[in-house]
Amino acid sequence: MSSFILTSCANTNQDLSKEAITEKGNRTKYNFNPDWKFIKENPEKAQDKNFDDSSWSTVSAPHTFNDIDTFDDLSLGGHKGEKNQWRGTVWYRKHFKLPAKEADKKVYIEFEGVRQIADVYINGHYLGKNQTGFIPFGYDISSYLKFGTEENVIAVKVNNDRKSDNFRDNDPLVWNHEHWHPTHGGIYRNVFLHTMDPLHVTLPLYDNLETVGTYVYADNITAKNADVTTNAEVLNEYETEKEVTYVTQIVDREGKVVATSSANKILKAKEKFTFSTTASVSNPNRWYTRNPYMYKVLTFLKEGNKIVDRYETPLGIRSFEFNKDSGFYNNGEHAKLHGWGQKPTNSWAGLGAALPDWLREYTFDLMDEAGGNFIRWGHCAGSPAEVAFGDKYGFVTLMPGVSGESQDEGEVWDIRIKAFKDMMVYYRNHPSIFIWEGGNWAETEAHYKEILDIIATVDPNGKRLMGNRRSDTKIESEKYVTIEVGTEGWEREFAGLPLIESEYMRDEAPRRIWDKYSPDDNFWNNPNLSKNTYDIGSEQFAVGQVHHWWTKMGKKPFHSGGANWVFSDGPHGGRNPTEVTRASGEVDGVRLPKEAFYAVKSMWRPEAQIHVIGHWNYKEGTKKDMYVISNCETVKLYVNGNLLGTNSKPVDGYVYKFSNVEWKSGEIKVEGYLNDKLVVSQTKKTIGDPVAIKLTPITGAKGWLADGSDIALLDFEVVDKNGNRCPLDADRVDFTISGPAIWRGGYNSGKANSSNNLYLDTEAGINRVAVRSLLKAGDVTITASRKGIKSATITLTSLPIDITDGLTTTLPQGYNDGVIAEEPVPVHIPKMPPYVPGIKNRSELFTNFSYTGDAKAMLRTTMNWGKKAYTDLDQNYTVIPGYLRFAEYIRTPNSDTKYWARDQLQFIAGADMEIYVLHDDRVKRPTFLLEDYKDIGDNVNVGTVTMSVFKRTAKKGESIIMAGNSDSGVPKDSRMYTVIGKKI
């Protein structure tokens, strides 16, 4: 790269072009997804151009070879992911021809992501290896290609194996484990072929190519003006020098040019040079989370009057502040951030991780409907489409590179830090990214310096913050991180830093289970229920969402907000052996909403909202508490028109409880009031007997495309005579299908081996299946039937796309065409307790204390008899050994007896100290206790429970980490461990 930058400033008064330039130059972007050959084997010489692959299967990207062996096994519990998936080496090969007109161009191939390891060949020539699994990469294939009538072959060897069942032993790719992400291998994201003039703006593919594309940023932002700088790395691959005119146009949402700039330079043969110009945008439409206005920057390279290259870059003009005392501000407007962590695999039952882009947007559309404005990708980078959807929907994004949950060294760190740079180069122009995540664990001082050096080099003008989740485990972290990426919202670790939450509310509950007053659906009576970490239904899960949000973030004025963990159920790290997923999402594994979805929507949407949790189809004589979630000040509840209660005192800001409501056939109605005015209402009715099946298709914005990988979704509901969904229906529906398509099916969350079948149960009256297109277009007819009710038939038509010689210019489609409407400011925010900066509950010994359990742990001083042992049990310490008296101690919540996570309780020793752990030996002793502590032979009674005393010595500054009580098989009525510290 050239070591100097040419700068030229311009504004709208310079009449370079009043209209947006429509010429595309010599650049073409081909969709390289369709029509690959695939084999689930590792044949020798499969990279050779003339290798015979005629017997291989035909597939299209996005593709995974694990779509048929996922969502089909009950979770193992203990935060272990789905292990029974095929792993090994496979091959993909794609035959294509390039028109003769492309012969003088540069040609690059771009992979948005291959899991896990990809070795790439072109016409038998080895191009290189990528082993990040989540970061886009590419190769220059120009010199190996044939043009015209001669065929070319791209071959990709893909491996998704790992070294060990123990994710700690999976070096160097520690993130390639089902503990973090299901091991869905394959070319699971888009592939593109770029052809361009030898004089061109480079691609932002730093891996292998070491090119950076454009860098666009806005500065001096006010309501009246913004200065927009465009840097563009330009490469002259000609053998002769070129006189280049560089032109930029800033184009608004309506297609109007609002600013232009230009520069001129003679580029020597083979020279790489970075142009830089700045233009002023008057009265800019700024990017807000509630109004994410997007511009685009068009960059052109001209030789004389001829445009030889055109490049497009997204632009969102926004300023922001994360304030340690008052939270997050977007262009000076305060906004509470609420949203989700989401796995970048985005697993979908029947599809695995291979999703067309419109399904990724479908998920964003749901998150937007639920009032989200924040996303944390965990713990690896989201896809290019998803980051762009973050721009479009106004989601502040916390963006990592690749990471597991460890402080890494050697080859692991080398791969991680390179991937971090590759990721930043690719994504740095996206306005939705506000924070770079250096890792999912604290780093050494040397590593922090490397991370900050890359940010300073790649994104020097982005003004973005950097944080590591669990940075509290390193005492030096505060010198380098600029935002605290919290771990559960209970405590603040760094008094001088702003705070954003990365993972809260890890409870799990399936969509199909309403409450204990409703029929069982293989849950309450499941023999594995006692092994569950969580044994709650949809109602308790929904109410819990409000409690966790309000107590951890919502009511804290200083707190910027945070990410609920996670948005969609998936086969990663589940803790409930009654389920085939980790059921911690607001939607299930096919994105059907749970009651929790409507609970968070009723808190987070800015408009007046109200939702009564549950249904209204109970048995005669049922009396139960009814919960209403609303962002109103007062809620009224009616049964069959009779007012049963008025509640103006919500719990946790949004929960209105009505006790002991007697069910009566008819309807339940709730009303929400603001300033004594009715602003919103909801009615739920008693639904009649099932009489018919109803089918509803869902496709992308442009329909169902016959590209070999597009998906059509089909919702099937069982309804009564009035067409209303039967909320308690949970029985089998059988399907038949004819026409050019592949049945992908769906899943039943509590049953093994339910995916990929031509039958499926409804859950709470509805379920969803998927159908994949082939390369052949046509009509596909599907019939859904069940004995005793009316069947339903629907015909879906897949639409042809133009694929010539393996290439198409039809790019992947989205779900919503157009822009997202501006949202209002919130109608009502519950009153928050006052915040006084600087007042904190801190300890001399347990410094940087954090606890990631589901309930709160508390720091206390002067341990003695009569002191309360737990935060949620009225049991005191009675007789205690003298050496424990007047120590500092931690009250843990006994409700977390069965909760397990590696990083559950952590602190840094504030002095040389003795650490004591009191443990109930009816529970299997956890690994941390066996490895780091010694049983000293003493016992302490807590009520009727005898606790063994364990001890270790810690030096000042030492990081202490304790996992949960146990990862499985916790006996009933056993106790959570407690922790005591005494200065030496």
Please give the positions annotated as active site: 503
Do residues 552 and 488 make contact, with C-beta atoms less than 8 angstroms apart?
Answer: yes
CA 921, 926, 930, 933: dihedral to nearest 10 degrees? -80
Do residues 462 and 493 make contact, with C-beta atoms less than 8 angstroms apart?
Answer: no
Do residues 165 and 554 make contact, with C-beta atoms less than 8 angstroms apart?
Answer: no
The amino acid that residue 807 corresponds to is: L
Q: Report residue 386 as tokens.
A: 């998803």
Beta carbons within 8 Å of 616's beta carbon, 6+ residues apart: 663, 666, 667, 668, 684, 685, 686, 687
Question: What secondary structure letter does DSSP report for 918?
Answer: E
Do residues 937 and 852 make contact, with C-beta atoms less than 8 angstroms apart?
Answer: no
CA 594, 541, 378, 316: dihedral to nearest 10 degrees? 60
The amino acid that residue 623 corresponds to is: K
Q: How far, CA to CA in Å, does 802 sit from each of 137, 311, 806?
A: 26, 24, 10
Radius of gyration for the alpha carbons in the chain, expressed in angstroms and rounded: 29
Backbone angles phi, psi at 175, to 5 degrees: -85, -10
Q: How far, CA to CA in Å, does 114 sit from each of 41, 212, 424?
A: 17, 21, 18
Q: Report residue 17 as tokens.
A: 């072009």
Do residues 563 and 504 make contact, with C-beta atoms less than 8 angstroms apart?
Answer: yes
Question: What secondary structure letter does DSSP report for 709?
Answer: S
Exposed, middle or buried, 927 (CB in 10 Å: 0-12/13-18/19+)? exposed
What CA–CA distance (Å, rounded) separates 978 from 958?
A: 19
Phi-psi region at 876: left, alpha or beta (left = phi > 0; alpha = psi -120 to 50): beta
Do residues 415 and 449 make contact, with C-beta atoms less than 8 angstroms apart?
Answer: no
Strands 741-745 and 888-891: unpaired
Q: Report residue 297 as tokens.
A: 């920057």
Strands 337-342 and 561-565: parallel
Cα 498 from chain centre: 22
Do residues 17 and 261 make contact, with C-beta atoms less than 8 angstroms apart?
Answer: no
What CA–CA distance (Å, rounded) separates 510 from 588?
A: 7
Residue count of the chain: 984
What CA–CA distance (Å, rounded) separates 343 from 570?
A: 9
Q: Which helix (H) or strand (E) is 563 found in, with range? A: strand 561-565
What CA–CA distance (Å, rounded) separates 624 from 377?
A: 39
Do residues 852 and 473 make contact, with C-beta atoms less than 8 angstroms apart?
Answer: no
Phi-psi region at 505: left, alpha or beta (left = phi > 0; alpha = psi -120 to 50): left
446 in helix, strand or coil? helix
Spatial CA neighbour of 393 closest among 431, 352, 442: 431
Q: What is the end-to-end Cα distance of the chain in Å, rounded? A: 58
What CA–CA distance (Å, rounded) separates 295 from 313?
A: 9
Do residues 516 and 524 make contact, with C-beta atoms less than 8 angstroms apart?
Answer: yes
DSSP 292-349: E--EEEEEEEEETTEEEEEEEEEE----EEEETTTEEEETTEE--EEEEEE-TT--BT
